[in-house]
Amino acid sequence: MKMIINEVLKYKKYILNLFLAFISYLAILIYFKIIFSESTYNFLLLLLFFFIYMFYNKYLDDYKKIDKRTRRFSLILSIILGIILTLGSLTSSYIFAQVGFIFNLHRVIYLIVGIVGFSFIFKIIFGFMFTFLPNITVLNTRVLTKKGFALIFCFFLLCWSPYFLRYFPGVMTSDSYYVIHYVENFELNDLHAFGHTWFFGLFYYLGKFIFHNMNLAVAFYTIIQMIICALLFTYMIKFLFEKKVKTIILIIISLFLAFSPLFAIYSITLWRDILFSMAFVTLFISLYKFVDNKYNLTVSIIIMYILSVLVILFFRNNGIYIILLFIPFLILMIKKSRKIVLFGNIVIVILYFVIKGPIFTYFGVQKTTSVEAFSIPLQQIARVLVNGGDIDEKTYEYLSTIIDIDKVKETYRPSISDFVKRATNNDKLSKDKFKFIQTWIKIGIDNPRNYIDSYLLSTLGYWYPDVVYWATAGESKSIFEDVDVQTDPIIFDGVPFNILTSRSVPLSSLFWSIGTMFILLVISTFILLYKRQCKYLLCYIPVYCLWISLMIASPVFAELRYIYALFVCMPLIMCVALMQKKREG
């Protein structure tokens, strides 16, 4: 027996690697949902197991030589990514299932195996990533000339112009036509964000005054929006150029922004989300300059910050929640100018509530509904009703006064709350929000599995990368008789919209994935923490606050336009994480 044990110990490394390879292999099968089918036994999948085993044989020993701090960071990050990939894969299988539970004993075991298996693989990858972090900056000081700025700006407009000509006067959806309708009829309404409606109206009427035509008036605004987007992207390149980012990196970023269909189509899309998201670019840069200036304020920083915050507050109705979430972090992290920063932000917030409160009331501006803010709680209650969950008679009677229960059971969809909101009486819910919240908590205590399942399904697209959902609109026609605006292509008439937005090209779907961008945000955050450059995380916090606001109250499980700010800020997020800086502490 002793001889057998000694013989086994000689090969303990290979036995351990076989075990690790097997667990990681199972994790990959779970992630791709292959473990549920007979295809797990085909040759290529067995070959995958061999490659994983060879990976451990080659790199595991080298990983063990890495210092403890690096291994600790890599392990934490790998566990987070393992949770995202495994939990997301299991949840995505039920995105269209109206009834039933996501997790049982088998799937909990799958979840654990997936997290452990991915953690083994990713901790080695991230360990080497932290050890050999690339440096994207050079040492010479450079300034982008006015001519260079103008060339980049014109390059963006030139690359986007075919989309404008194809979808002239702009890409529109029902939301867009509502805004045009409000402006055309001077209807005071905050449902589609009063600030954006006014901003659009300013250029719409200027265009109408010049051209005497609705389509041309909308086109005039679209051109203005394209110019703003191009200017801000060019300003981003200028900022990174002056922060000594390597030229090749800036060329790649510029080409990506210019040729990606997402940025091109969004630059001509009549949505409040576009300029709202672009405001995060200037907010990010203002915060970086504030931090890099050792928390000393300058006139340019103050102006850029105020303008960014005002657009965020007034161009989307969830902007106030983002700013309220952000301000405590801002006050907590700054070392200087704390009093003036606190005072300035309090003034901005007070101004917001004065405008949205008494001023809107005085002018009779129609306000947004409470139902929007309760999208996720309503979805959770709806899932309990559909699944025949535990609800006592008194609670059921109360729900029947604010929700058409039969309609909910017929129309419930796990991924979108629109159908539940349409079956909800907003006036009755708004009269006693506290009672609704109490009821929601009570039902949740009695039905935790339904609530957890519903929450995962309602937010899946914001953290899991393999979600495909519509992101852009194509040709359209007005939904109002008094708004004579529709798609009227100048060139490329007849070119199918899906050719421009296809995700079937290899790797192209990554650039449309909210979950992928979120993972890159998390990795960039860990890089800053690892490099002991925590102060620059202040620039990331507004984007995190936007993400959190969607995780709390998103009406749709993967609406890209709601978090477009994450996409436009990604070049800044990744470059700041990899910039050459002296370590603190």
pLDDT of residue 585: 39
CA distance 485 to 444: 46
Mean confidence (pLDDT) of the chain: 90
pLDDT tens-digit map of 284-306: 999 999 998 888 889 999 999 99
CA angle 432, 437, 442 (to 5 degrees): 130
pLDDT tens-digit map of 505-523: 666 777 899 999 999 999 9
pLDDT tens-digit map of 528-576: 999 999 999 999 999 999 999 999 999 999 999 999 999 999 999 999 9
85: CB partners within 8 A, 6+ apart: 31, 114, 118, 464, 465
pLDDT tier, 139 (very low <50, low <70, confident <90, very high otherwise): low
Domain residue spans of the chain: 2-131, 371-462
pLDDT exceeds 80 at position 142: no
pLDDT exceeds 90 at position 499: no
* Residue type (1 letter), 414: P
Token code pair at residue 397: 């009677």
pLDDT of residue 67: 93
Stretch 319-333: mean pLDDT? 94
CA distance 568 to 263: 8
pLDDT exceeds 60 at position 9: no
pLDDT tens-digit map of 408-463: 999 999 999 989 998 998 888 888 889 999 999 999 999 999 999 999 999 999 99
CA distance 580 to 245: 9
In sequence order, the β-bridge partners of residue 366 are: 189
Share of the chain above pLDDT 90, in %: 69
pLDDT of residue 581: 63
Q: How many residues in total does the chain contain?
A: 585
User: What is the SS3 assignment for 377?
Assistant: helix
Stretch 308-315: mean pLDDT? 96
pLDDT of residue 481: 86
At residue 297, φ and ψ (nearest 5 deg) are -85, 145
CA angle 575, 578, 579 (to 5 degrees): 80
pLDDT tier, 46 (very low <50, low <70, confident <90, very high otherwise): confident
